[in-house]
Amino acid sequence: MARLTAPAPADIDAKTQGALDAIAKQFGFAPSMFTMLAANPTVLEIVMGLQGSIAKLLDAKTRHTIALAVSQSNGCRYCQALHGFISSNLGGMSAGEIELARTGTSSDPKRAAVAKFAQQLIETRGQVSDEDLAVIREVGYIDPEIQAIVTIAVVTLLTNYLNNVSDTVADVPGADHQSA
């Protein structure tokens, strides 16, 4: 049972319900994280705005790899399930690649470096070493892309924290088959 409650459907204003309907249309269902966030429409709007903005950064598989690696590092079971679902069903990632991303690697050398860097970023609270930066640069990332990696990791960190505090119930299709 979640520790933070979602509002009753009758208590959701029309604008917030419209946002939830758009999410449901995109995913095929309204993930419980978003219905929980509907208790504070401003927080929901912030999270959706940030997620919409990071969709413009890097390619989708790299964004998914970062989200999976960060969610694993933070022990966010809900985000691991949701990002696993999104990565598989909307992002075209195989189950094997999803598992590799969770462990901070990938079969693609560039994504392997970004997964490891994202986990280092979280584990060091942003205090990555010069060596960490050198490794990510060696595989071809330039400074504006490193900023994008950090931004994606921090947005993922925000939803990890919201879901960890709430202990959001994993309502994601196939979540009972996902690694945690």
Helices (H), ranges, 3-108 = 14-27, 32-37, 41-54, 60-73, 77-89, 95-102
179: pLDDT strictly greater than 50: no
CA atoms of 113 and 86, how far apart (whole Å): 21
Task: Assign domain 60-168 to its CATH superfamily.
Answer: AhpD-like (1.20.1290.10)
Q: Which two tokens stand for residue 19?
A: 């946002």
Q: State residue 146's pLDDT score.
A: 98
The model scores a pTM over 0.85: yes
164: pLDDT strictly greater than 80: yes
Task: Kindly list the domain boundaries of the chain, sorted by start residue.
Answer: 60-168
Q: State residue 175's pLDDT score.
A: 57
pLDDT tens figures, 20-61: 999 999 888 889 999 999 999 999 999 999 999 999 999 999
